[in-house]
Amino acid sequence: MAKHQFQTEANQILHLMIHSLYSNKEIFIRELVSNASDALDKLNMLVLTDEKYKDITFNPRIDIVANKEAKTLTIKDSGIGMNEEDLMNNLGTIAKSGTKAFLENLTGDQKEDSNLIGQFGVGFYACFMVADRVEVTTKKAGEEQAFLWTSTGDGSFEIENATMEGHGTQIVMHLKDDEDEFLEVHRIETIIKKYSNHIPFPIFMDKEKHIPAVMDDEGKEEVEPSRTEIENVQINRANALWTMSKKDITEDEYKDFYSSIAHSSEEPLAWMHNKAEGAVEYTTLFYIPSKAPMDLYRVDYQTGIKLYINRVFITDDEKELMPTYLRFLRGVIDSKDLPLNVSREILQSNAVMNKIQKSSVKKVLSELGKMAKKDPEKYDTFYTEFGNVLKEGLYNDFDNREKILELLKFNTLNSDTPVMIEEYIKRYEDKVNSEAREGALGQKKEIYYLTGKTSLAMLKSSPALERFKAKGIDVLVLNEEVDTIIFPMVTEYKDYKLVPVADAKFEESEEEKKEEEEVAKTYEGLAKTFKDVLGEAVKSVETTSELVDSPVAIKIDKEDPAYQMAQMMKQMGQGGDMPEPAPIFMINPKNELIKKLNDSSDTNLVEDAAHVLLDQAKLFDGQELEDTADFISRLNRIITKAI
């Protein structure tokens, strides 16, 4: 007998399970039956595709035994089973990214942490919510040696050799004193019908069957008394839900199946069930969770889609089944036209799989579009949870870029609530039509946007938007970090160009151009002084007509080779440490402060003002100040002179 310590993360899960205040403890049966179903799925695939397993008899079943005298509940399957290495990996450690994300969300508050259990399935360890001792006897298909794994959840477990008829896994739970409800046949059957009715394998359990008394021919006297017999019966339907006709599936059955495959006690937000017939036959059942999975933003996220081939489970660990920006989906893809021995490499290049994926993506995006129009409140819930993930599709799904744009919600300069791009376009065109300005800006068919990693209020106050406010032009205001990465790659929507506000060109008359040139000459001295004072911190100092109220602003020269190199390195996933190119420092000659500085003979004041104004422009641009103490010191000197 060998004693082992649980991995630290596994120990954290165990501690939470043992001391759980979670009220819905019945999910431990859902988790264990789901594991048993997975074990049967894996063996089924191996028997059909692997020569080493061709002689193994596949007789799939799951058995549940409640022993009231011993106070034990047993769940047994005839699946793939485990050897000693599997026991160490599966029951002693935690490798799933989702479990690690679950642990990262723990707060230390026992009640709050217990509630997290409902949002995330914790698998095998859930049995410690109801058991104070667990024994797992298992034998891997095709191997001779069986093993017994035991633990009381005290931080350690033991593994020893054992004997076992046939392959599979048997879990015996010694229930805690107050968990007798899980020994009642009716209670167990209710749980199975709720969570596991549609796993594709039969679940059996002993049930009492009442045999009525046998009466004589006249029906007056008992020939044989009534009696009770024990009968081993199947307690689930064992039909893969996705293979059924939609009209034969109730809403509750869809929800219960989601609970089983997503390991969640939350109801799904929506689902879409589709059967395709023709050159390629396949069925998909996709669910949209009501809450984001905990590992959604982890690189090692766990995919939620299971691939079946003609009801034979193939994989639940293939991230290529659906694009990464739809990684929040949970569900099933079942195809009749893929080979059973399909490999990961074949999946990535298979024409049938490519067609299934393309059609499935279009279906999901179409259903989301319908939700946005028919049930805006539900769509708001979806967008709050998954909007930023959906945006990732703009970067890597060019074929569906237009459709994805139509699903996004945008804050705008002139709107207090987010709008969708079609609504933004309608407002824009209504404004142009009502003004009927021939040759005016509106006919350029341009959508202007501003990105920045700062608060929405701060971004809406950006000096870069002043000329748009003055002209009454609405602008998309994008303040999520993902926006700054993705939107520079999006250049058009239908016949509209998407243009950053810094690149917007407004038509000017010859008189306006001449006037600006004259003004620039007036401020050449101040511009040169600012450049001398600021040195390499700015590329140049220029007067501008783009500002209305603000004294200064900064912008990047996109023709600068340093900027172009930095962008190229970013697109290659490199250059994270490359310094940003120095900006152009723009001054507003119409601003009273700039006018006074131009007339000032106080060189110290002008020098302090140059630094403070540049820092001010950086703050509006969402940047952090490199030297806050210097900023405060200069600002205080300016205030002192002013009072």
pLDDT at 369 over 90: yes
**Token digits of residue 62:** 């799951």
User: What mean pLDDT comes out for the span 125-133?
Assistant: 91
The Cα 387–Cα 298 span in angstroms is 16
Report the alpha-carbon distance of residue 643 to residue 635 in Å, rounded: 13
Q: Between 350 and 283, name the one with better pLDDT.
A: 283
* Mean pLDDT value of segment 322-348: 86
The dihedrals phi and psi of 601, each to the nearest 5 degrees, come to -105, 5
pLDDT band at 27 (very low <50, low <70, confident <90, very high): confident
The pLDDT value recorded for residue 505 is 87
Res 313 pLDDT > 50:
yes
Choice among 126-140, 378-392, 548-562, 578-592 with the minimum mean pLDDT: 548-562
Per the confidence metrics, is the pTM higher than 0.75? yes
Looking at 208-222, 251-265, 361-375, 495-509, which range is the least confident one? 208-222
Task: Report the b/e string of 358-368 with b at 16+ CB within 10 A.
Answer: eebbeebbebb
pLDDT > 90? residue 209: no
Rounded to whole angstroms, the Cα distance separating 342 from 464 reads 54
Q: 610 vs 353, 388, 527, CA distance in Å?
A: 61, 38, 10
The label of the residue with tokens 């939609």 reads 246
Instruction: Please name every residue paired with 451 in a beta bridge, in sequence order, or none if there are none.
Output: 478
As given in the structure block, the two tokens for residue 599 are 């007339």
pLDDT for residue 294 = 82
What confidence tier does 125 reach under pLDDT thresholds 50, 70, 90? Answer: confident
Please tell me which residue, 378 or 454, carries the higher pLDDT value: 378
Count Cβ atoms below 10 Å from residue 326 Cβ, excluding itself: 24
Which of 421, 442, 560 lies closest to 494 in space, CA to CA?
A: 421
| Beta-strand pair 203-211/62-67 | parallel
Per the structure block, which two tokens stand in for 41? Answer: 């799925």
Average pLDDT over residues 45-74: 94
3-class SS at 599? Answer: helix
Nearest to 552 by CA among 541, 563, 560, 561: 541
The domains located in the chain, with CATH, are 2-212+226-234 (3.30.565.10), 241-383 (3.30.230.80), 408-503 (3.40.50.11260), 510-642 (1.20.120.790)
Cα gap 213→224, rounded to integer Å: 5
Q: What is the pLDDT of residue 441?
A: 45
pLDDT tens string 81-121 = 999 999 998 887 664 545 555 566 665 665 555 555 544 55
Residue 439 has pLDDT above 50, yes or no: no
E strands along 258-363, which residues?
A: 270-276, 282-288, 305-309, 312-315, 330-335
Q: Do the bridges between strand 270-276 and strand 282-288 make them parallel or antiparallel, or are there none, so unpaired?
A: antiparallel
What is the number of residues in the chain?
A: 643
Candidate ranges 207-216, 382-391, 502-511; pick with highest mean pLDDT = 382-391
**Number of helices (H) and strands (E), helices first, in the chain?**
22, 25
Is residue 631's pLDDT more than 90?
yes
Q: Distance from CA of residue 198 to its chain's centroid?
A: 26
Q: What is the mean pLDDT of residues 588-604?
A: 93
C-alpha–C-alpha distance, residues 450 and 466, integer Å: 12
Tokens standing for residue 20: 């759980």
Look at residue 118 in the predicted model and tell me its pLDDT: 46
Taking residues 602-615, what's their average pLDDT?
Answer: 95
- State the helix-helix crossing angle for 185-195 and 251-262, rounded to 10 degrees: 90
pLDDT surpasses 60 at 575: no
> What is the pLDDT confidence band of residue 576, given thresholds at 50, 70 and 90?
low
For residue 517, pLDDT over 60 is answered with yes
Give pLDDT, residue 558: 72
